[in-house]
Copies of this chain bind each other. A is one copy, B any other.
Amino acid sequence: MTAETESPNMKDTNKPGVPHGMPVFGASGRRIIYDEDGKPCRSCNTLLDFKMVTHVQKDARPSGSTTNSALSSTTASAMAIPMKKVAETTQYARDEPPDVEQLGKASWSLLHTLAARYPTEPNAEQQSDMGQFINLFAKLYPCWFCAKDFKKYIEENKPVLESQEKFGRWLCNAHNAVNVKIGKPKFDCNLWKQRWKDGWDNVDDSVKK
């Protein structure tokens, strides 16, 4: 929903929330956001910034010999990429309300990313929260006949919320049930994490079908 943008300043790489030796700002000019465990947060950064910072992370020597100056150099080069132009009001105001396809795509993006960020071992409260969210989503979804189908689906296929892996696969199957209904190809649910969580960088080319 939001993302902090500041003027580039690479002098201070010891800011709170920034792991030692990691960049503060990304190629887009936005501040790089890290998770509590110090890893860059995929859902919190632009893809460009995420790729940049994970590249830095991979290149960093395990001995900890990566210096700020080396990082500054990497980042400075990335900084040369021009910042994405901010959309103008004129363009923004003319957009039409989302149609059924745009709404569907947007909603699946949110749901699958929720699964991607769902805890690997969720506690009772986390399971209850996600269960309630899915039920309310089905109840309130703006396309009424899609909502009706989805409600029926979750009545017949109760959301599986015991782990991230199970929830991610349940959602992938729910999405496939819709794909079949509208004549779209089914997605291979063995690849749900590549598609919605980890990306394809570390996947063997033979799997990138």
A residues apposed to B, CB below 8 Å: 1-5, 33, 35, 41-48, 50, 86-90, 92-110, 112-114, 116-117, 129-130, 132-133, 136-137, 139-147, 149-150, 178, 181-188, 191, 194-200, 208-209
Contact partners of A92 in chain B: CB under 8 A: 185, 187, 195
Contact partners of A4 in chain B: CB under 8 A: 145, 181-182
Question: Are B98 and A113 interface neighbours, CB within 8 A?
Answer: yes
Question: Are A93 and B187 interface neighbours, CB within 8 A?
Answer: yes
Contact partners of A102 in chain B: CB under 8 A: 109
Contact partners of A150 in chain B: CB under 8 A: 1-2
Contact partners of A133 in chain B: CB under 8 A: 133, 136-137, 140
Partner of A106, one of B35, B47, B88, B110: B110
Contact partners of A209 in chain B: CB under 8 A: 89-90, 93
Apart from A5-B182, A43-B99, what are 4 other A-B pairs with CB-CB below 8 Å? A1-B146, A2-B145, A47-B96, A87-B185
A133 to B: closest C-beta gap in Å: 5
Question: Are B144 and A44 interface neighbours, CB within 8 A?
Answer: yes
